[in-house]
Amino acid sequence: MLQAGHFVSGRHNAGLFSEKGVHAQCYNCNINLKGNTLEYRRQIVKKYGVDMDTRLEIEAAQVLQYKVCDLEEMAEVYKLKIKELEEQNKVPGNL
């Protein structure tokens, strides 16, 4: 089972819900290798370009306090994204 691997760890920073700073990681990388940070950094740069790792670290240095309404809005946005992905991945003839 995959887990949410955060490029910059911490529960009280702006990177907690960053779409470019949170990716699927296996248990071994996320827990046993404590995020496998060197490889994670390499993959961030490969996927998003040079300096994205630094930008994500700067973003994560900010402290955000989410209100319930902020979290509810985010939940709705992600429900819609999930629905869109499910629609895109439907194979004709399959249920």
Question: What's the chain's average pLDDT?
Answer: 92
SS (H, E, C) the chain: CCEEEECCCCCCCHHHHCCCCEEEECHHHHHHCCCCHHHHHHHHHHHHCCCHHHHHHHHHCCCCCCCHHHHHHHHHHHHHHHHHHHHHCCCCCCC
85 belongs to a structural domain: no
95 belongs to a structural domain: no
14 belongs to a structural domain: yes
- The whole-model pTM stands at 0.79
- At 32-73, the pLDDT tens digits run 999 999 999 999 999 999 999 999 999 999 988 899 999 999
89 belongs to a structural domain: no
State the Cα–Cα distance between residues 21 and 19, nearest whole angstrom.
6
Instruction: Give the chain's domain count.
Output: 1
Among the ranges 61-65, 72-76, 83-87, which has the highest mean pLDDT value?
72-76
- pLDDT category at 11 given cuts 50, 70, 90 is confident
